[in-house]
Amino acid sequence: MKLTGITPQMKGDNARVEARKNEVRARDVRRGAGAGDSTGDDRVQISSSTRDAAEMHRVLAATPEVRADRVAEVKERLESGAYDADPYKIADKLIASFLEENL
């Protein structure tokens, strides 16, 4: 089977694609022409939830990752033999921590 006339068709398609690209570029240039103009009406509004999130972030950043008072308490209980660890609670917290970090 001999295929004929394919090459001119492809060239025509390429010409149409290029023409369309040029139209889009020209439209984008026309739209962007006034982009630098400033009317003084530009504003930024920060929602209360965004402010709350920023405040939480600030508080967390200021909070130490290791609570020295809690570490000292647990260390003292371990040394005295009064620390009773629940392996199921520990496993639950390890799994929850893993899921939080990886999901």
The answer to whether position 59 is within a domain reads: no
- Helices (H), ranges, 33-86: 48-62, 68-80
The whole model's pTM is what? 0.29
Segments forming the whole domain that contains residue 80: 68-103
In a domain, 49, yes or no: no
pLDDT higher than 90, residue 88: yes
Instruction: Tell me, yes or no, whether 37 lies in a domain.
Output: no
Q: Model confidence over 4-31: pLDDT tens digits? A: 555 555 555 667 777 788 888 888 777 7
- Answer yes or no: is 80 within a domain: yes
Highest mean pLDDT among 9-13, 35-39, 64-68, 80-84: 80-84
Q: Give the separation between CA 71 and CA 74, rounded to whole angstroms.
A: 5
- Asked if residue 56 belongs to a domain, the reply is no
In the chain, the amino acid numbered 13 is: D
Q: How many domains does the chain have?
A: 1
Contacts of 29 (CB under 8 A, 6+ apart): none
pLDDT in tens, 52-73: 888 888 888 888 788 889 899 9
